[in-house]
Amino acid sequence: MKETLPLGRIAGVRVGLHWSVLVIVGLVSVMLAVGRFPQAHPGRPGWVYWGPALLTAVVFLASLLAHELAHAVVARRNGVEVDGITLWMLGGVARLRGEAATPGAELRIAAVGPLTSAAAGVLFAGLALWLDMLHVSGVVVEAVAWLAAINVVLAVFNAVPAAPLDGGRLLRAFIWHRTGDRLRATRGASAAGRMLGWLMMLTGFAAVLFADDLSGLWPALIGWFLIAAATAEERQAQVRGVLDDIPVSRVMTRDLATVPATATVSRFLAEGPFGHYRHSAFPVLAPDGTAAGLVTVALVDQVPLQARATTKIGEVLRPLADVATAASDEPVVDLLPRLETSRDRRVLIIDGGRLVGIVTPADVSRALTWLTTATRAGS
C-alpha cells in the first residue's frame, strides 16, 4: 500500500496516508453526525453533531496509527527493520523489511497491536466517565465513549486467530513454536484467514439480500480483503521458502545500462529505446562513479521539450535517498518487501558506495522459476 500524503516520521518511523483513508473519515463522520449523535442527543443544531464527528474520525485515525506504531517499535526492538506505516481505507499497514527470527519475536510483534488498542479503549472509557462527571456536553461524552468502544472492538477483532490479522500472527507463532516449520505455520494461519473471510462475506451479503441491510456490505468488503490478503501471505511464504538463504548477488542483474548525471535529457532520449537504453528506468551515476539515483522515462517526460537540450539528468532523477537499495550479500527474502513497495519497482544494489547491480520483479520471478523447477526435479 503506497502512501499518497507523507506525514513525516514518528518515533523514527515514516508515516503516510493513502487517499482511501478519506473513506474512513467520511463513514465515521456520517455515521456519528447523522446516526449516533442525533439519536442519543436529539434537537441540537447540525454543527453540534458534525464538528465532534469530524474530530472523532481524526482521533480514530490517530488510534489506528498508535496500533501500527506499536507494531513498528516492537519490530525494530526485535531486529526487524521497518520501512514505514500507511493508513488506508481498512485501517493501517506497517511495512516490515523482513520477518521475525523466532516464534517469540513474532508473538511480541503481533500481540502489542491489540494490547495497544485495548489500552486506548480503557483510556477513552475512563476519559468519558470523567467528562460525564464534569457535565461536559453529552455529544462530546458520546464521542469519547464511541472511541472507547471502537478501540475495544478493534482489539478483539484483530486478536481473532486468522491471517492477516494480529491474531493470525499469534496463531502462526504458536504453530511455528510447536512444529518448528514457519511455512506450515503460515499455511495454517492463512487457511484460518480465508475461512473467516468467506464467513464475513457470506453473512454480509446475506444481510443485504435477506434483511435489506446495506451495512452488510462493510463486513463483506472486509471479508474479501481478508481472503485476498491471507492468500497473498501464503504465496509470499512459499516464495520465501524457495528463496531462503539465497543472496541478492545470485539474483541481481550485473550488466547495467547506467546514465551519467551530466548527460542532457535530449541525449538520453536520442539513445533509446533502440540504442543503449532499452528499459524504462536506469541507475544514474555521479561524476565520481557513485550511484546518484534513478531516472525513469516518466520523470524525463515531465521536462518541457524546449528545455531538454539544456536539462541534465542529474536535475530530474529520483535521488538515491528516495530509491530502494540493498547490499549484494543480503538475503533476497529481506529485499522483497522493499521491491514490492518501491515506487519504481526496482532496488539498486550498492556495495561500499558503488553500484554493483539492480533487482526487478522480473529478476526475482526468473530466479523463482529456475529454483522451483530445480526443486521439483530433485524430488
Q: pLDDT at position 247, please?
A: 93
Q: Using CA atoms of 144, 161, 26, 39 in order, give the dihedral in degrees to the nearest 10.
A: -50
If phi > 0 it is left, if psi is from -120 to 50 it is alpha, else beta; for residue 342 that is: beta
**pLDDT the model gives residue 94:** 85
298 vs 303: CA distance, rounded Å: 10
Cell numbers that stand for 42 in this block: 436529539
Q: pLDDT tens digits for the chain (379 residues)?
A: 566 788 888 888 889 988 888 988 998 999 999 988 999 889 888 898 999 999 999 999 999 999 999 999 999 999 888 888 988 877 888 888 778 889 999 999 999 999 999 999 999 999 999 999 999 999 999 999 999 999 999 999 999 999 999 999 999 999 999 999 988 999 999 999 999 999 999 999 999 898 887 778 888 989 999 999 899 888 888 888 888 789 999 999 998 889 999 999 999 988 877 667 778 899 999 999 899 999 999 999 999 999 999 999 999 999 998 999 999 999 888 888 788 878 889 999 999 889 999 999 999 988 888 888 876 655 5
**The domain boundary residue, chosen from 243, 267, 285:** 243
Which domain covers residue 178, as residue numbers?
Answer: 5-243
Strands (E), the chain: 5-10, 13-17, 82-88, 91-96, 259-260, 281-285, 291-296, 318-319, 325-326, 347-351, 354-359
Query: Helix or strand or coil: residue 127?
Result: helix
Burial label for 149, CB within 10 Å (0-12, 13-18, 19+), is: middle
* Same-domain pairing of 290 and 165: no
- Same domain, residue pair 200 and 269: no
Point out the domain boundary residue: 193, 214, 243.
243
Give the count of domains, the chain.
Answer: 2
Please choose, from the candidates 169, 172, 164, 171, the residue with its C-alpha nearest in 3D space to the C-alpha of residue 197.
Answer: 164
Mark whether 234 and 324 lie in a shared domain.
no
For residue 288, the tally of other CB atoms under 10 A from its CB is 7
In 3-state terms, the chain is what percent helix, strand and coil (to 5)?
60, 15, 25
The predicted pLDDT at position 96 comes to 82
Same domain? 137 vs 180: yes
340 flagged as catalytic:
no
| 103-133 and 46-77 helices, crossing angle to 10° | 150
Cα distance between residue 3 and residue 16, in whole Å: 5
Same domain assignment for residues 24 and 72: yes
The pLDDT score that the predictor gives to residue 99 is: 80
Co-location of 186 and 265 in the same domain:
no
- Residue among 15, 24, 25 nearest 73 (CA): 15
Burial label, 349 (beta-carbon count in 10 A; 0-12, 13-18, 19+): buried
Q: Does the bond joining 219 to the residue before it have cis omega, within 30 degrees of 0?
A: no
On whether both 209 and 273 belong to a single domain, the answer is no
CA distance to 67, 112, 125, 327, per residue, from 119 (Å): 10, 10, 10, 40
78 contacts 49 by C-beta, under 8 angstroms = no
Same domain, 217 and 81: yes
Are 84 and 223 members of one domain?
yes
Structure confidence at residue 251 (pLDDT): 93
What pLDDT, on the 0 to 100 scale, is given for residue 95?
Answer: 81
pLDDT tens sequence across 101-145:
899 999 999 999 999 999 999 999 999 999 999 999 999 999 999
CATH number at residue 300: 3.10.580.10
Quick one: 226 and 289 in the same domain? no
Final residue of a domain: which of 223, 243, 263?
243
pTM for this structure?
Answer: 0.77
Which residue is catalytic, options 3, 68, 106, 234?
68
One domain for residues 205 and 253? no
Both 197 and 299 in one domain: the answer is no
